[in-house]
Amino acid sequence: MRRRPLWLLAAFAVVVGLLGALVYPIPVWAPVVEAPELAATGTGDAEMYGQVVDRLAEGEPYYSALGAALREGDFPRRPVFNWRTPLHLPALALLRGWGLSHLAFGLLLLPGILVLILEWRHASALRITGALVLVVLVAAPQFHPTLYLFAEVWCGAALFLGFSLRATSDPRLRTLGALPLILALFLRELALPWLLVVALVDLFERRWVSASTLLVGLLAWCAWFGLHVGQVNAHLIPGVDDQARSWVAFGGVPFLLDSMRYFSVVTLAPRLAPLTVSLGVVAVVASWRGPHRALALAILAWGSALLIFGRDVNHYWGAVTVLPLALLFMARIIGDGGVAKPDPTPSPQPSGEGAASP
């Protein structure tokens, strides 16, 4: 895409975003520490997850602890996706407290930031500073005293690390980027559409090692999730755990905007949600043919899914999007000159009678 049409598109997005900000009603958002809350009990997800972590730290089995917390808070127990898989919360119980948990979260982010700094070292100091300021501003709210209890935040950090590795010019690091993406899936099944998009892009671009790694990871997750489903079914109580609420709510653009609340700028100024989404669309279009193609397509697929799936209390799903979208914005600040280009497809060697002599 030539520079002029891109700037025109960006200017149009800014105008649309600002007009949207004028008509977008300022949402009355509960503090993140309580979100989402249930009117019946006043118990929020953060409090419930904290109870599970405390129970696990005292030695209670995972599914017994989670089932009891779901029932005490009157949370839905069906379908099975209401039960978090046994990785994130048990890990927090081992870390015992928000201090070590935040340290672990920072260590998960740090390699991706360092890789990007090395990859973009030839860009101008102003561009690098702008990109780093952006990621600091975006990542800082993720260290909220209770957000670490949400698997979505950790899932987004793992996606950020994986896509950061994939953006490098080192083919070994690009291949290694599949592992954090698989970790994101084990942390939260919401990463599934992201991995499917990346796997399809890798197959299309003939990155066989990365695609094979992702497919093996998907198969391993399917087996692991199957065991999880079996454990959940074994701990359901007939007549008590018969609640079933569909996530196909067609929340549309309002739900998509609501899910942006975990983006730091939107947290401070909710009316900027339409502008953030508009600029996100521009970043996706601008990255369509670059080294961040898979990330752009994954964000597009995820945003489209949020138009269909998710009830109003599921706005915290947007925490998955925050850091990957920030990475795409950072890439646009740096420009295509500072990031790795996709491997060029080697042209076939001439053969037969028309082949040139050595």
Domain residue limits, the chain? 3-7+33-335
The predicted-structure confidence for 47-106, as pLDDT tens digits, reads as follows: 999 999 999 999 999 999 999 999 888 888 888 888 999 999 999 999 987 788 889 998
User: Burial level of 207, CB count in 10 A (0-12/13-18/19+)?
Assistant: buried
Distance CA 75, CA 51 (A): 13
pTM, two decimals, is 0.83
Q: Give me the pLDDT at residue 276, please.
A: 80
Q: Give me the pLDDT at residue 218, please.
A: 97
Distance CA 293, CA 283 (A): 11
Share the mean pLDDT of the chain: 80
Tokens 């990031």, residue?
339
Q: Taking the alpha carbons of 353, 354, 355, 357 in that order, is the dihedral positive or negative?
A: positive
Q: Is the pLDDT of residue 27 over 70?
A: no
Q: How many residues can be counted in the chain?
A: 358
Q: Give me the pLDDT at residue 214, please.
A: 96
Q: Is the pLDDT of residue 277 over 60?
A: yes
Cβ atoms within 10 Å of 156's Cβ, excluding its own: 30
User: In 3D, which of 276, 290, 303, 277 has the Cα closest to residue 331?
Assistant: 290
The predicted-structure confidence for 232-263, as pLDDT tens digits, reads as follows: 999 988 877 766 677 788 888 888 888 887 77
Of the candidate ranges 4-8, 252-256, 340-344, the one whose mean pLDDT is the lowest = 340-344
Rounded to the nearest 5 degrees, what angle is found at the Cα of 278, between the Cα atoms of 275 and 283?
120
